[in-house]
Chains A and B, each alone.
Chain A
Amino acid sequence: MAVSVDPPATTRDHLAKMGWTYTFLADPEVKVVKQYDLAHPQNDGRVIARPAELLIDPTGTVRWVNLTEDYKVRVRPEQVIEAFDRVAKQNKP
C-alpha cells in the first residue's frame, strides 16, 4: 500500500506484475505520516512525507525499513521485492 499526502502513480504496474495488489491511500491530514514519524515540514507550511518503505509481516511486525537519505531517489520496486525475498525466508526474530 502506498501512503502519500498527494497520491502519485508509478510503481503500481511493476508490483502488480509480481503479484502484489497495490492500494493507494490518501493521508490528507498527515495523520499516519506523523504516526510513523515521517513528517517533513516544508518552508511554506505544508507537511509532506519523508519517503520510506516498510515491510510488515502478517503479525504486524516490521521486518524491513528503508528511509531514503536523499529525497530525489525514489524507491525502486525491485528493492522492495528483493528485501521481501530476503526477510520472508528468515525466521521471525
Chain B
Amino acid sequence: MDRKRNFLPLAGFLVCLAAFLSYFLFFYRFPVTRDVPWTGWLLFALGLGLLGAGLARAFRQPERYRGRITGSILGVLSLAVLGFFFLLTTVEARNLPASGGAPQVGQKAPDFTLQDSQGKSVRLYDLLGAQAGGAGAPSWVALIFYRGYW
C-alpha cells in the first residue's frame, strides 16, 4: 500500500515554534505567565510529544508511514528552538552585571537631574526636600529602574 504522509513531526515542530513565539509576543506581558515561562514549557512538551509520536511511527512502521528523514530534521530543529528558548528565558535572564557600585543601605543616594515626560527637569534632591539639601518639603522617594524593553 501507499505510505501515508506523517503529519505528526511537522505538527510537533509547529507547536514548538508556537511555544517560542507565543511567549515573546504575548505571554511575556503578564507577570503570571512571564516570571516563570510555564506556557512555553507546556507547549514545548506538547510539541515534543507530537514529534516523538510521529518519529516513533515513522521508524517502527516505515512501510506505513513516511517521515524518518524529515521528521528527524524537524526534531533537531525543535530541540534547537527549545534550547534557544531556555537560553533566553533562563540563562540570559540571570546574566546580569555585578552592580557592585550600586548604593547600599545606609549610603547616600547620588543626586541627579533628569527630564520627565513633559520635558521638565526633575532633581532627586528637590524631591527629597530640604533635609537632603534640595528645595521643597521632606519626602521619601522610591527610585525604580526599569529595564526599558521586555
Contacts from A to B (Cβ < 8 Å): 1-8, 11, 15, 20, 23-27, 31-33, 35-41, 48-65, 67-76, 80, 84, 88, 93
Contacts and interface: CB of A to CB of B under 8 A. Distances in A.
A61 B109 contact: yes
Contact of B147 (A11, A48, A63): A48
* B89, B129, B148: most-surrounded residue (chain A CB, <10 A): B148
Interface in B53-71: none
B18 interface: no
Given A1-B124, A65-B103, A74-B31, 12 more contacts: A3-B143, A36-B102, A38-B99, A48-B149, A49-B147, A56-B109, A56-B128, A56-B141, A57-B128, A67-B96, A73-B31, A76-B31
Interface stretch (B9-17, B44-52, B76-84, B132-140): B132-140
- The size bracket of the interface on B is 35 or more
Given A49-B147, A71-B93, A59 B102 contact: no
